C-alpha cells in the first residue's frame, strides 16, 4: 500500500520546463501551531495522488507523496515528490533546461487551514537546483520521481496546490489526511456494508460476494463518496465506479482512479473497459482484440476479456497482479477481480503463446493496458 512513498530527500531525479511567476505573498505564521509542536501538522510520510498533467510531452505527471521530517518545535521544511511516467511507446528524456535550475520556479499555493496561510511560497530546493546537469532516459511505462522542498509545512487543514512549471498546477488538496493511503482498501468495502475479499494488491481491496453463492452483487451505484474516504483522498464526490454494484467493472474503475486520480471509464460491458479507457485517455497504450501473449502484459495493468463480437455478452475485466510465462509461452497470468471467485484471485492459462482458458470462463480475445502507472 505504501509502495510509492519515498522517505529520503535524496530521491532526486528529473524535471522538465518551468513557468516564471510573479512573487506572491509568503505564508504567515499562526498561533494555532505552538512552539512545542502542539497543533502542528504531524511528521510522517503521506501518499496522496494528484494529477498535474496526464500527458505532458509524453509523461503523466502526478504529485504522488509528501514527507514531513521529524521535528521538536514548529515543523519545517517539507518535501513533495512528483512522478513522471512515460506513457508513450518510445524512450523519453528528462532534463533541466532553462530556468529549471532555479528552485524558485516551483511554487506551493496555500489556502485555508488553522492559520493565516493564504498565498504562495517558492521552493527552496528542487531536483534540478541540486542536479542541474541531469539527463535521464525513461523507458516506456517506466517512471522517474522528482522532488521539491519548501521551507514551511502547511498548517493543519490547509489545502495546497503545487505549481509545477509549464507542466501545470495540481488541484488544491489536503496532503496530510489520514484517508490518503487506504481509502480503496477494506474501509471502502465496509462503507457499503460489504465484506472484503481475501486477495488484494497495491492498496485496492475487492469487495462484495463471490459469484454463484446466491448473491448477484447488486448493491446499487458504487462511487467515490465522503463516507468511503474516496472524496477526501481524490477531491471528487461524483466519480462512479459501477452503476449496478460490486461487479468486475467496479474494481477496475476503482483501481484506475487509485493509480491515476483520473475519472474512470464506465463501459456498458466489462469486455469494453480497456478499449473505452484508451478512447478517453489515448496516452495509455493498449494491446487489443487478441489472444496472443506478449511481454507488454505485465503486473499492474488492466485486462478485459470478451468474445470478440459486438453483442451483449458482458465479458470480464480484472487487474493483472502477476505474470509467470516462460520463454516457450507457457504459464499463467494472475488477476484480481470482483464478482468471480471467493478469494478475488483468478488465473488465465497461457499455452503455446496464446491465452487459452481462465478460471472465470473461456474468452476469444483480450485487451490490456500497457503503461498504466502503479
Q: Render pLDDT for 260-317 as a digit per residue (tens, 0 to 9).
A: 878 899 999 999 999 999 999 887 889 989 999 999 899 999 999 998 876 668 999 9
Residue 88 sits in the same domain as residue 155? yes
* pLDDT of amino acid 18: 32
Tell whether 296 is covered by a domain: yes
Task: Estimate the share of the chain in helix, then strand, then coil, as percent rounded to the nearest 5.
Answer: 15, 35, 55
* pLDDT of amino acid 133: 94
* pLDDT of amino acid 261: 75
| Average pLDDT of the chain, as a whole number | 83
For strands 345-351 and 354-358, give the pairing: antiparallel
Query: Residue 141: which of 83, 63, 66, 65 has the closest Cα?
Result: 83
* pLDDT of amino acid 118: 65
Residue 143 sits in the same domain as residue 224? no
Residue 48 sits in the same domain as residue 143? yes
Distance of CA 190 to the CA centre of its chain: 22
If one counts the domains in the chain, the total is 3
Tell whether 114 is covered by a domain: yes
Question: Which of 203, 234, 268 is at the close of a domain?
Answer: 268
**CB environment 76-89: b (16+ within 10 A), e (fewer):** ebbbbbbbbbbbbe
Quick check: 154 pLDDT over 70? yes
Question: Which of 178, 213, 241 is at the close of a domain?
Answer: 178
Q: Render pLDDT for 7-41 as a digit per residue (tens, 0 to 9).
A: 333 333 333 333 323 333 333 343 457 777 778 88
CA 176 – CA 240 distance, rounded (Å): 25
Q: Render pLDDT for 105-145 as a digit per residue (tens, 0 to 9).
A: 999 999 876 655 568 899 999 999 999 999 999 987 778 99
Q: Name the pLDDT band for 343 (thresholds 50, 70, 90).
A: very high
Q: Where are the alpha helices (DSSP H) in 159-205?
A: 186-191
Other CB atoms within a 10 A radius of the CB of residue 50 amount to: 22
Residue 59 sits in the same domain as residue 155? yes
Residue 83 sits in the same domain as residue 172? yes
Grid cell for residue 291: 489472444
CA 255 – CA 224 distance, rounded (Å): 12
Residue 220 sits in the same domain as residue 357? no
DSSP string, 320-342: EEEEEE-TTS-EEEEEE-SSSSS
Name the percent of the chain lying above pLDDT 70. Answer: 84
Tell whether 280 is covered by a domain: no
CA 254 – CA 245 distance, rounded (Å): 12
Out of 48-52, 88-92, 95-99, 180-184, least confident range: 180-184
Which range of residues forms the domain containing residue 166? 1-178
Quick check: 190 pLDDT over 50? yes
Residue 222, beta-bridge partner list: 242
Helices 273-280, 248-260: axis angle to 10 degrees equals: 30
Tell whether 28 is covered by a domain: yes
Looking from the CA of 133 toward its CB, the CA atoms found within 13 Å total 0
* pLDDT of amino acid 32: 58
Residue 166 sits in the same domain as residue 212? no
Residue 195 sits in the same domain as residue 130? no
Q: Render pLDDT for 357-368 as a digit per residue (tens, 0 to 9).
A: 999 989 999 999
3-state secondary structure of 248: helix
Tell whether 223 is covered by a domain: yes
* pLDDT of amino acid 115: 58
* pLDDT of amino acid 336: 96
Out of 76-85, 101-110, 305-314, 337-346, least confident range: 305-314
Residue 150 sits in the same domain as residue 20? yes
Out of 30-39, 52-61, 89-98, 241-250, least confident range: 30-39
Tell whether 277 is covered by a domain: no
Residue with cell 494528484: 50
Residue 190 sits in the same domain as residue 315? no
Tell whether 374 is covered by a domain: no
Question: Which of 214, 233, 268 is at the close of a domain?
Answer: 268
Say if residues 108 and 150 touch (Cβ distance below 8 Å).
yes
Tell whether 300 is covered by a domain: yes
Residue 92 sits in the same domain as residue 206? no
Terminal alpha carbon distance of the chain: 11
Q: Render pLDDT for 54-71 as a digit per residue (tens, 0 to 9).
A: 788 888 888 888 999 998
* pLDDT of amino acid 12: 35
Residue 76 sits in the same domain as residue 206? no
Quick check: 322 pLDDT over 90? yes
Amino acid at each position: 500500500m505504501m509502495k510509492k512513498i519515498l522517505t529520503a530527500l535524496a530521491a532526486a531525479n528529473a524535471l522538465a520546463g518551468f513557468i516564471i511567476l510573479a512573487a506572491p505573498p509568503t505564508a504567515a505564521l499562526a498561533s494555532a501551531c505552538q512552539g512545542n509542536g502542539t497543533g502542528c501538522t504531524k511528521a510522517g510520510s503521506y501518499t496522496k495522488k494528484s494529477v498535474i498533467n496526464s500527458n505532458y510531452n509524453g509523461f503523466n505527471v502526478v504529485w504522488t507523496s509528501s514527507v514531513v521530517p521529524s521535528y521538536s518545535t514548529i515543523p519545517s521544511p517539507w518535501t513533495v515528490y512528483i512522478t513522471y511516467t512515460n506513457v508513450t511507446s518510445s524512450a523519453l528524456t528528462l532534463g533541466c533546461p532553462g530556468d529549471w535550475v532555479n528552485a524558485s520556479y516551483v511554487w506551493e499555493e496555500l489556502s485555508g487551514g488553522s492559520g493565516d496561510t493564504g498565498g504562495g511560497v517558492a521552493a527552496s530546493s528542487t531536483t534540478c537546483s541540486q542536479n542541474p546537469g541531469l539527463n535521464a532516459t525513461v523507458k516506456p511505462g517506466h517512471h522517474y520521481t522528482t522532488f521539491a522542498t519548501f521551507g514551511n509545512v502547511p498548517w493543519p487543514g490547509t489545502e495546497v496546490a503545487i505549481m509545477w512549471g509549464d507542466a501545470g498546477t495540481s488541484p488544491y488538496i489536503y496532503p496530510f489526511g489520514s484517508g490518503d493511503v487506504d481509502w480503496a482498501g477494506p474501509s471502502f468495502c465496509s462503507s457499503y456494508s460489504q465484506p472484503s475479499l481475501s486477495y488484494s494488491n497495491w492498496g485496492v481491496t475487492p469487495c462484495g460476494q463471490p459469484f454463484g453463492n446466491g448473491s448477484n452483487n447488486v448493491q446499487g451505484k458504487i462511487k467515490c463518496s465522503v463516507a468511503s474516504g474516496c472524496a477526501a483522498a481524490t477531491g471528487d464526490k461524483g466519480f462512479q465506479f459501477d452503476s449496478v454494484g460490486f461487479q468486475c467493472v467496479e474494481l477496475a474503475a476503482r483501481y484506475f482512479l487509485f493509480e491515476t486520480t483520473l475519472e474512470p471509464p464506465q463501459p456498458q460491458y466489462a469486455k469494453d473497459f480497456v478499449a473505452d479507457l484508451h478512447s478517453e485517455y489515448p496516452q495509455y497504450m493498449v494491446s487489443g482484440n487478441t489472444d496472443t501473449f506478449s511481454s507488454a502484459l505485465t503486473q499492474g495493468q488492466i485486462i478485459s476479456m470478451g468474445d470478440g463480437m459486438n453483442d451483449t455478452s458482458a465479458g470480464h475485466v480484472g487487474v493483472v497482479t502477476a505474470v509467470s510465462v516462460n520463454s516457450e509461452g507457457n504459464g499463467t497470468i494472475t488477476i484480481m477481480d470482483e464478482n468471480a471467485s471467493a478469494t478475488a484471485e483468478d488465473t488465465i492459462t497461457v499455452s503455446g503463446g496464446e491465452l487459452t482458458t481462465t478460471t472465470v470462463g473461456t474468452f476469444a480475445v483480450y485487451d490490456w493496458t500497457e503503461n498504466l502507472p502503479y
